[in-house]
Amino acid sequence: MLVQRECMDSITFKSDTVLSDVHMYTPNIRHLMVRLNAVGQPEHTMDTTLEDVGKQVWRGAFLLADYIWNNSYLFRDCTVLELGAGTGMTSIVMATVAKTIYCTDVGEDLLNMCERNIIVNKHIYEAAGSEIKVRELDWLRDDLCTDTKNPYCWSEEEIAHMYDHTDVLLAADVFYDDDLTDAFFQTIYRILSNLKNPSTIYLSVEKRLNFTLRKMDVTCDAYDHFRLCLADLENICDGRTKFIVEPIKSSFPQFLSYERVEQLELWKIIAEPFKSNAQQ
Ligand SMILES: C[S@@+](CC[C@H](N)C(=O)[O-])C[C@H]1O[C@@H](n2cnc3c(N)ncnc32)[C@H](O)[C@@H]1O
């Protein structure tokens, strides 16, 4: 533990960079600061600006990956849409069981890195005969990008396939900014309203507690906002979709190496067609 702390102490983080807690207990931390691929491009970095947080792997991605491995029967042959996929790690694990995975995030640079990770890790999932498609899905836009100048654009066939077949949605550690959280929930509501089949959404979140002078208490505003959005979703009465929100106990076995702190949570949202009294 002392050695690890010494490692951390020898690194200077700028005030505008963020560090995934996954790396906190990593030996030889300096060597992992930037891992370069064969052509000298980073595939995963140790600290990034907030804008580039997707280039690190976050603990929530490992928790979700562990859940998938422990409950593979839930995902067999499914069509899955991952939002805010970052490095693509959770989509790669999902591809060991599901059939088609739309692995999405925003920004060409990040999506290039994600695509490279999916290619170099193909051996992990290729026996399953599944397919991962890296596509741009920006929560701040109302539509899916179909501009063919963007290498990660959607074809009309893919959009139709995604809406006709998706039955699982995933997002790991994407709740750290209230405006983005609002945009995320608006996006999943819009997507769910267009899906042909009932679906289940799995979300991991980490409650990062901080003492604030403003509140004179230890709180996590971003987590509180996430819980409000969950409650709002459950209270939607649009006459079409019923949302059932449930926490998932994190007591399932851990295969991957990370600290499963109690602030790390997994949530499930079941979206099913609303049945009126006459239909029941
Ligand atoms: C903390 S990272 C989590 C990455 C990955 N899921 C993980 O857990 O390792 C948050 C992710 O949300 C993505 N994101 C942020 N704003 C977004 C937006 N407007 N549309 C889509 N993705 C966005 C980031 O690019 C980043 O990949």
Taking the centre of ligand 1 as the mean of its atom positions, its distance from the CA of residue 53, in whole angstroms, is 7
Residues 6+ apart with CB under 8 A from 136: 104, 105, 106, 107, 111, 144, 145, 150, 152, 153, 154
pLDDT at 182: 97
Q: How far is the CA of 176 from the centre of ligand 1 (A)?
A: 10
Q: Taking 50 as the threshold, does the pLDDT of residue 238 lie above it?
A: yes
Split at pLDDT 50, 70, 90, the class of 208 is confident
More reliable by pLDDT, 159 or 52: 159
Please check whether residue 210 is in contact with residue 220, taking contact to mean a CB–CB distance below 8 angstroms.
yes
Question: CB under 8 Å to 109, separation ≥6 — which residues?
Answer: none
pLDDT at 25 over 50: no
What is the reported pLDDT for 156? 98
Average pLDDT over residues 71-76: 98
Euclidean distance between CA atoms 264 and 256, whole angstroms: 14
Among 80, 137, 174, the mutation site with the greatest number of ligand 1 atoms within 8 A of its Cβ is: 174
53 lines ligand 1 (CB under 6 A): yes
Query: What is the CA(175)–ligand 1 centre distance, in A?
Result: 9
Would you list the domain boundaries of the chain? Answer: 2-49, 57-273
Angle at 40 between CA 36 and CA 42, to 5 degrees: 40
140 CB near ligand 1 (under 6 Å): yes
Tell me if 35 sits within 8 A of 29, measured CB to CB.
no
The length of the chain is: 280
- Tell me, in angstroms, the distance from the centre of ligand 1 to residue 50's CA: 10
Q: Find out if CATH 3.40.640.10 is the number for domain 57-273.
A: no
The answer to whether 110 touches 129, Cβ cutoff 8 Å, is no
58 lines ligand 1 (CB under 6 A): yes
- For the chain, give the secondary structure using H, E and C: CHHHHHHHHCCCCCCCEEECHHHCCCCCHHHHCEEECCCCCEEEECEEEHHHHHHCCCHHHHHHHHHHHHCHHHCCCCEEEECCCCCCHHHHHHCCCCCEEEEEECCHHHHHHHHHHHHHCHHHHHHHCCEEEEEECCCCCCCCCCCCCCCCCCCHHHHHHHHHHEEEEEEECCCCCHHHHHHHHHHHHHHHHHCCCCEEEEEEEECCCEEECCCCEEECHHHHHHHHHHHHHHCCCCCCEEEEEEEECCCCCCCCCCCCCCCEEEEEEEEEECCCCCCC
What share of the chain has pLDDT > 70, as a percent?
80
Question: How many whole angstroms from 250 Cα to the centroid of ligand 1?
Answer: 22
Question: What integer is the mean pLDDT of 49-62?
Answer: 84
Give residue 198's identity as a one-letter amino acid code: P
145 lines ligand 1 (CB under 6 A): no
What span, in angstroms and rounded, lies between the C-alpha atoms of 82 and 88? 9
Q: Looking at the predicted structure, is the pLDDT value of residue 27 above 70?
A: no
Is 217 buried (19+), middle (13-18) or exposed (0-12) by CB count in 10 A? exposed
**For ligand 1, what atom is nearest to the CA of residue 176?**
1
Q: Of residues 208 and 22, which shows the higher confidence score?
A: 208
pLDDT digits (tens, 9 = 90+) for 127-171: 999 999 999 999 999 999 999 999 999 999 999 999 999 999 999
25 token code pair: 């207990």
Over residues 77-110, the pLDDT tens digits come to 999 999 999 999 999 999 999 999 999 999 999 9
Say how many C-beta atoms besides its own lie within 10 A of residue 173's C-beta.
Answer: 26
Tell me: pLDDT of 48 over 60: yes
Contact 57, 32 (CB under 8 A): no
Mean pLDDT in the chain? 85
For residue 242, the CA-to-ligand 1 centroid distance in Å is 26
